[in-house]
Amino acid sequence: MQIKVLRNILEANDRISNQLREMFRQKAILVINLMSSPGAGKTSLLEKTLDQLRDEFSMSVIEGDLQTSNDAERIAATGAQVLQINTGGGCHLDSSMIQEAAGKMDLEQTDILFVENVGNLVCPAEFSVGEDYKVTILSVVEGDDKPEKYPLIFAESRVLLLNKTDLLPYVDFDLDKASGFARSINKNIEIFPLSARTGDGLEPWHDWLRKEVHRKKQDR
């Protein structure tokens, strides 16, 4: 019974997700579902990306969190359009939440829509929200074995951002080992080591976004 209920939930979610994906395709909006554990640096990364690419693209953000509007306030300070979703205990965003949020936003001029998912390495990976790509952030303070321990989120992700590399001298984290684990699960995953705090390594990530925005507009 529980398996059947979960299947029904996922099927309903996918139906709405497909509707959203078609809407975003028609508007030529690149949609990134940004996932990580709590504290890995999603909001800090977004702040830097929004700040450094503001002259190139119009970007909007849907913020997901259990409680508070703290992250949304930080994003709003960059000048980007942002809408907060508080799940009240839910461990992920789903497509119906994104559908409701998108209906309250002006997305006509948006080039990139970032969905900052709830901090969790398990639930968000199972629920599509109409995104083009899932992107996972793994900070070096979390341990290089996380791709082995939480394989689904890395299997579903197009990009892995290895964040907080400025802390590598102080933690026991092997970049090659973490990358190897991730590629053993997903041979097509693209991996960018970076530090949102210092800005080191951000340009390859930004170049990837530039390429994908161009591709989305060409495929319209």
pLDDT (0 to 100) of residue 220: 73
**88 falls within a domain:** yes
**190 falls within a domain:** yes
- Looking at the structure of the chain, the number of domains it has is 1
**4 falls within a domain:** no
**206 falls within a domain:** yes
- Residue with structure tokens 């909001």? 43
pTM, rounded to two decimals: 0.94
The count of residues in the chain is 220
Please give the residue range of the domain that contains residue 38: 11-215
**133 falls within a domain:** yes
Average pLDDT over residues 62-67: 90
Report whether pLDDT(8) > 80.
Answer: no
pLDDT (0 to 100) of residue 122: 94
**187 falls within a domain:** yes
Per residue in 110-167, pLDDT tens? Answer: 999 999 999 999 999 999 999 999 999 999 999 999 999 999 999 999 999 999 999 9
pLDDT (0 to 100) of residue 68: 84
The CATH number that applies at residue 106 is: 3.40.50.300
**5 falls within a domain:** no
pLDDT (0 to 100) of residue 1: 43
Give the tokens for residue 204: 């390859």
Per residue in 23-58, pLDDT tens? Answer: 999 999 999 999 999 999 999 999 999 999 999 999
Distances (CA, A) of 122 to 36, 119, 170: 9, 9, 27
**1 falls within a domain:** no
Report whether pLDDT(61) > 80.
Answer: yes
Instruction: Order across the sheet with 159-163: list the strands.
Output: 81-86, 59-65, 112-116, 30-36, 133-139, 159-163, 190-193
